[in-house]
Structure 1
Amino acid sequence: MHRLPEVVREFVATGRIPSPPEVLVHLMRAMEDEASSIADLAQIVSQDPGLTSRILSVANSPALRRTKELTTIEDCLTSLGIRLVRALVTCLSIQRLFDKDNQLSSAEVADFWCHSLLVGELARAIAEQADLKNPDDAYLSGLLHDIGELILLRAIGDPYRQFLANVSANPSLAAQEAQLFGTTHGDVAAWLIAHWGLNSVLGDGIAFHHARASEIGTATALPQVVWLAQALTVLQEDSAEYGPLIDCTALSIDQAALAATRARAVERTRQIAEAMGIAVATEFPQRAIQQVPATSAPVMALSPADSELSVMVGGMALLQPLQQDLLQLGNVKEVLLALRESARILFELPSMAILLVDASGAVLTGDGVDDQPSLFRQLSIPLAPAGCLAAAAVADRQVSASFVSTQPLALLDRQLVRALSAEGLLCIPMVARQRTVGVILCGLSSLQYAGLQRRSPWLSHFGKIAALSLDVVLVAEQQRQLAEEERNQQFTRHARQIVHEAGNPLGIIKSYLKILERKLPEDGVRQELGILTEEIDRVAAIVGKMADDQVQHAASQSIDLAGVLSDFLALYADPLFKQKGIRVEKQVPTVEILASVGCDSFKQIVLNLWKNASEALGAGELVKIALIDGVVHGGTHYAQLRIDDTGPGISEEKIRTLYEPAAVSSTQTRGLGLSLVGRLAKQEGILITCRSQPGTGTCIELLVPKFIPESALT
């Protein structure tokens, strides 16, 4: 990739792709309609390159991305949630309204939109004809293939507009793009894909859509698909050139089918544009890039006072919807993410960090704020005295920047600039209701700062909105925490009362069993009474833990799994299984198998699993219980406890509770067994797997860590 010129790199970093206002209005209406589903919103978003690029960028950001990359718009919207999406769309709408120096006309945005949508539709249809595995990837690459054009238009302006107009008349001039501007729109778009952390294959489909016909056949399938889709847009409907184009690729596509595909894609694009209220140019499906006008109508300049008043009043009015959206967000993490993306959209600030005031109210810190350089998580900046630009901005309650500071930057400020990979620092204080919440730190260049000076009142008002939104959420979280502490205290008081009341009868029963044990002959009954006494002790211990302010988990110990299972079978096999007509097959070795787990925890796990099986099975059905020694997994030695049954099976939702503890209501008394098993297994280092199908039974396997004597470790 060519090195991006500085002015282009700044616009690329913001990832700002304008959307037609008609699309934004359509999406805003859909979000206000309670009948709209995520799929409905995804359909609207996926028709616009600007919205698609923004949603992809945010959903795949480090703050939100947990596992694999998200490349479908529906998955992205599900990950973000409607509230955050609404805040982003509001910002895009506001930015469009107050951006007075936009380099793009409405006609140019509409032309770009129609062309991009057509290439996306064509790419998906071609991918389906060629039997590619992921036609949606082809659509995404096709939709975004020309986003570099809009970035270069905003960064360079009229010279690039003139270049596009000339290329529209003479396509052979496209090879001069890199020579004239130091990069190509394909490279710029591919850089964005890489910047978002998405698969490089998507970027390849975008980067090579203007490759030479003699070269494209050696590329992978996706670049070939997007290249062919782009090439079809410049041909006439009944063109005889379809065959030679297909021959340039290695795709298996029928020429007649491709002509029909093109006609359907053009008609579908027209229908979508009509539904959105966007005018389609008469030249469509070919591009209609306009020449640079020879003269421009003079613009009447406002007086300095009128200009400042317009900025202040207009900014506050336009930012009001954003404040309403932010106040609807549910937690601090959501608000911080929305603030970061809002600032990026509204003010084109690609590099930023957020510091919050700690509980003492005297220190700024980034600890606990995700998705920013590690330096900010280590910071602890005293607010008084104001020894750096960030603290001074908070103390003065004014937006401040390193570019206008009369004093040399403090060493800490220079560290912050380096951490943000920028030329200078902009600090936006977050102060509301006489309470200091924090500060937004933005890394930017002198060129970017010059463009922001006129928006200084908006920056200040944005800081106040940020403070108010965060303050509301922080106060709500503090109230929830206090309420939770009060509930815990009430639970502890009630639990102590229960322990006291339950302890007396349990003690009496235990004493009676000891008397009974002495009266009986020394046979199997006395052994079973001993096991029953141990179970009473375990129940008493479980009840006793209820009264602990903080549950203390007993340290893992060495227990004999075979002995515990044999005792449990002697005590529980009859009441749980045999009395219900459930057949039991057991394979428990008579030799000692030592494991390094807590005895009580292991017993609770086994009892809950057996109880679940007992409740699920009917007369004549079978449960198998097997203990196997000598299992090695990942270099660690385990014993395997396997429980198979021929019952009705377990639903996927219930199986998930083994790994994700379910929320428990205050009145819930059933369905907690698997969740408890999962929690205890995780606590004891027991690996658990479950296989189940409706009507065929369930198999649960526990890998219990073996006890390794210290002598064996040395």
Structure 2
Amino acid sequence: MKNIFEKIKKSSPLPQLPQVMIQLIRACGKENTNIDEVTQIISRDAGLTAKLLAIIASSHVNLAKQVTTIKSAVVYLGLDTVRNIAISSSAMQFFKFSNATDNFNINRFWYHSYKCAVLAQRIAREKKQANSDQYFLAGLLHDIGTLLLMATFPEEYKEIEARVNQGQDEFDAQTDILDIDGPKVSAWLFKQWHLPPLISDAVGFLSQPPARIQEESDHIKILFMANLMAEPESTTVTKDAQDLTDIPTAVLNDIAVQAENEVHQTAKSLNLDPGDSEQGYHLLADDLKNVSLCFGTLDNLLRAKDVPTVFKTIQRGLEIIFHIPRIFFFLRDREKALLTGICAKEDRHYNIVTSIALAMNNTNSLIVKSVNTGNITTSIDKEDLAASDTQVIRALETPFLYAIPIPGQNGCSGAMVIGVDNDLSHTLDKNKTLLALFSRQAGTCLENLNFHERYARDISDKKMEAYATLTDKVVHEINNPITIIKNYLETLKLPQKHPALEDISVVKEEIGRVSSLLEGLTSFSKPKVEGALKTIDLNEMCRRILVVLEKSILALRQIRIQIDLDAGMPKATLDSNGLKQIIINLVKNAAEALEKGDEIRFKTKLVPGSAKVLIDEKRKLPGMAQITIQDNGPGIPSHIRERLFEPYNSTKPDAPNSGLGLFIVHSIVKGMQGRITYDSHRGKGTCFTILIPLAPDTDPSAPREEII
């Protein structure tokens, strides 16, 4: 027997499930994984190192710069992808020996192995065994010894197969010819892999007669039963299996049915027929690899915290599984009835893609058609393409485009647009089920992220509306008695030098002060958020306001201001009065928080990628303006930051109408369909950022830019 093992070592590369793989899978699965630790583990395995660097260096992976180190490969691919590559590599090594003989049916072998794994795990759970996953691993790999014998002794195994065809038990035939059987080789190999003794002991008994197993411990009985019950496409529980356990027959029958259903569904998803031996190893190997990587990608999608992470995860998954050279995304803006382009920032065509917009009523665009119909579209065999499709194909740097809709609850939320040639298009056509799984999961993730963002905005808006409504009611109720008192005092006639006249005068002053306060409350509850729309030069308007503020508020406090205005800012139609009020309030607030000699930085910028080109319509959309007002002051206290845009939330509680300025600013920005955010740190200052959509310049005399 010792000579057999020596010959196996010399003549066959052992299937790889070494400690390196186990350590790597465990390291990648930890919550706080250290990249250096993962890099060190990978560097111990030349084969895995070569595989990662080959993937990362592939021309199909569109990197901005070359990756030549293990660490940079891990950082780019991500820990989950590295883990999935390790798992799929191990699985492929396991099935590597399947084509050693002509009559070997890899499909049936896989079905039996996987079903044995599922049964062993389910029976172990029913028996309340710890570490049921170990039983799954034992069931999955229990016949690997037979594969090794087949690969090492191909001529001898032809004789073994001939005896099996004549009715002899396979394990007996192995022993007669090779003086060893598959289970003993499996047990030996498990020890080479340093797997737990529990499973290496159990697998070694699989060639024993059932009567011999009656006296053994539960872990041996469980694997033996699973092997007896693992006949493909069968739910029969033999008497030999029933005699090895105290599990009720009805429960054991349920386990058999559930296991068969699970394995059958898995086989169906792989297009695998256990009765068909023609599909061969390579088809199964590709399917297993793709499914392994696909589900790793889907798992990452479920944990994505923002839209860029969703796109990054999809892109990397598709790159590795299908060797896709490039992928762009077009997302639906329902308010504007547009699809807007987006891609990885590292892509050299980022500026082009993010500048493209497609009108949803554009019947000529294949990308729009994909979103409107919910079907895959491709430019292969298509003539007279829309200008936008031609532009996208040029950016993809491939002969054709392949648009996959991203489904959602209320119609498609966009499309994934892939660069393809004829071969890749054919591959994708064969894997439409897998692509649909990707796109459905992407759509679900996008809708969830959008829902949470909208929900947070709605809560904030409703709070503001509630404050305004309550204030209206309070103002109305107080105004009634105040009006009566004022009218009464005006009609009250007293003789000159009456002792009460002085007191009445004081009362009138106080009533006047209350009226002023009520007027301030009214302006707060109903701030002016819509002014006259004018076509303006935003930079010039900002410059004029800042000159006035610099000579008044800032000069008195000796506060400096730095102004940086984007020369590329286009003219646009805006509520100029509302914008002036925003700037004055924010600069004034900053100045009041600063000390002598402090500084304010004011900056305008056209948001990159926000200006869109409707190529087919030959017109431009002006995009969004960003205004930032940053100071180097003390920062906003944490108790104020928690409710920053709510009314009466101020660091100056004694000042009249304190805490209303930022609420009014927020309301005006919202009325302009914009957004305001802030970043503040104690001792480091505060920065307010306002994003305002720019309406097109309506001046008919303004020069029109050419659309390229």
The answer to whether TM tops 0.5 is no
- TM-score w.r.t. the length of structure 2 is 0.38
- TM-score w.r.t. the length of structure 1 is 0.37
